[in-house]
Amino acid sequence: MTDPGVLTADEQLQQQQQQQGSAVVTDPYTSLKQNYEGLVLFLTTVQNVVDGWAAAGERIQFAFSWSDQLATTVLLVVLLLLAVGLWVLGLQVLVTIGLLWVFRHPVLRDPLPPPPANFMARMPTRSDTMM
């Protein structure tokens, strides 16, 4: 026995279409405007994603460029320790440890970002250095 107050997905879709009015737009200018707004929204999302990728690439480039000697030194020491760990323990052990760390229980997680992510987030991008 189903609850009469609970609607199925089809009934919800029909109600939404009735509330929005006619599903078919008769005015070609309104249709063109809706298509244009959808395209602008999509392209804005794509631009934001690509901007994030570019900023991450600039931060990595900044870390390796010796513009900040401390940041480059820390990065090289971490990479050296990772290489030694890979040589001593092997790839399978390091991947297992990494996966156990990533998939740990939420109670064991810190609400703050991990230090490497915080370190990279604080690195300046090209637009930051121009100001």
Nearest residue to 122 (alpha-carbon basis) of 70, 50, 47, 81 = 70
Burial status of residue 37 (CB atoms within 10 A of its CB: 0-12, 13-18, 19 or more) = exposed
**pTM (two decimals):** 0.58
> How does pLDDT run across 2-52, given as a tens digit for each residue?
555 565 666 666 666 666 655 566 788 888 898 999 999 999 999 999 999
First to last CA, the chain: 66
In sequence order, which ranges of 1-131 are alpha helices (DSSP H)?
9-20, 28-64, 69-89, 91-102, 115-121, 126-130
What's the token pair of residue 80?
């050296």
